[in-house]
Structure 1
Amino acid sequence: MADSHSHHIPADGGAAQRKVIWKTFWILLILTGLEFLIAFTMHHGVLRISIFVGMTIVKAFYIVGEFMHLKHETKSLIWTILVPCVLVLWLLVALMVEGGSIFQEVQVFKFFN
């Protein structure tokens, strides 16, 4: 009698899956290493922060694509998830920029009083 709960084992013993996992590991390790290199060698500033934000977004997209299998989904689902995320990021940047201008106005107001 055949076992109804038997699992399918790939002909290559799962070598293709292990190859993808190791590739993902090395890519994320290299990106993280570059982040550490930048953190300890670059001076504080807008360029450093921009590089960190960019690399973090790249790592996040790669992790979501690989581990949450989003890169294997249909394009409409990808866009349905991606567009709101981009809009939220835009909102956060706009709020930080506008929020910074409030502090400048407070300083100007104190100067005139």
Structure 2
Amino acid sequence: MADNTHHHSGHNTNEIPAANTGKIWRTFWILAGITAIEFTLAYVMKAGGFRTSLFVIMTLVKAFYIVGEFMHLKHEVKSLIWAIVVPIIFIIWLLLALMLEGGSIFQLR
């Protein structure tokens, strides 16, 4: 009779891999640091376009970091990453153009 046991390169499939808590804490501290900077700028800087631009940039940085870490996008092939990032850049450009053009209607009157 044939032996139906399979050998999986020396690894026991019943073992649970150790948690990578260091990576989780690093991600937590990076996101907490960016958020702390955002809160600090909210109380220190005057309201205006520059402050709003900084908030948008920091929010995008956090969003890309979250997508890269928690959705594992940074481990994908580069063509998939670019296929996601390029349309997002065009959408951001479209939103900025619409806001700038939409605001100019009040200057014409």
Above 0.5 in TM-score?
A: yes
Equivalent residue for 2:94? 91
| Post-superposition offset of 1:88 | 0.4
Number of aligned pairs?
98
Instruction: Name structure 2 gaps, 5 residues minimum.
Output: 1-12
- TM-score normalized by the length of structure 2: 0.84
CA distance in 2, matches of 1:44, 1:98: 21
Counterpart secondary structure, 2:47:
coil
Which portions of structure 1, spanning 4 or more consecutive aligned residues, are displaced by more than 6 angstroms? none
| Match runs of 1:67-106 below 5 Å | 67-105=70-108
Provide the residue aligned with 2:16 in structure 1: 9
Separation in structure 2 between the aligned mates of residue 90 and residue 22 of structure 1, nearest angstrom: 34
The structure richer in helix per residue is 1
Structure 1 pair 78–23 and aligned structure 2 pair: CA distance change class (3 A): same
| AA at the equivalent of 2:16 | I
1:49 partner letter: T
Where 2:61 maps in the other structure, the secondary structure is helix
Q: 2 CA distance for matches of 1:80 and 1:36?
A: 32
Which of 57, 60, 68 aligns to 2:60? It is 57
**SS state of the match for residue 43, structure 1?**
coil
Q: 2:37 aligns with which of 34, 38, 43?
A: 34
Tell me the amino acid that sits aligned with residue 29 of structure 1.
A
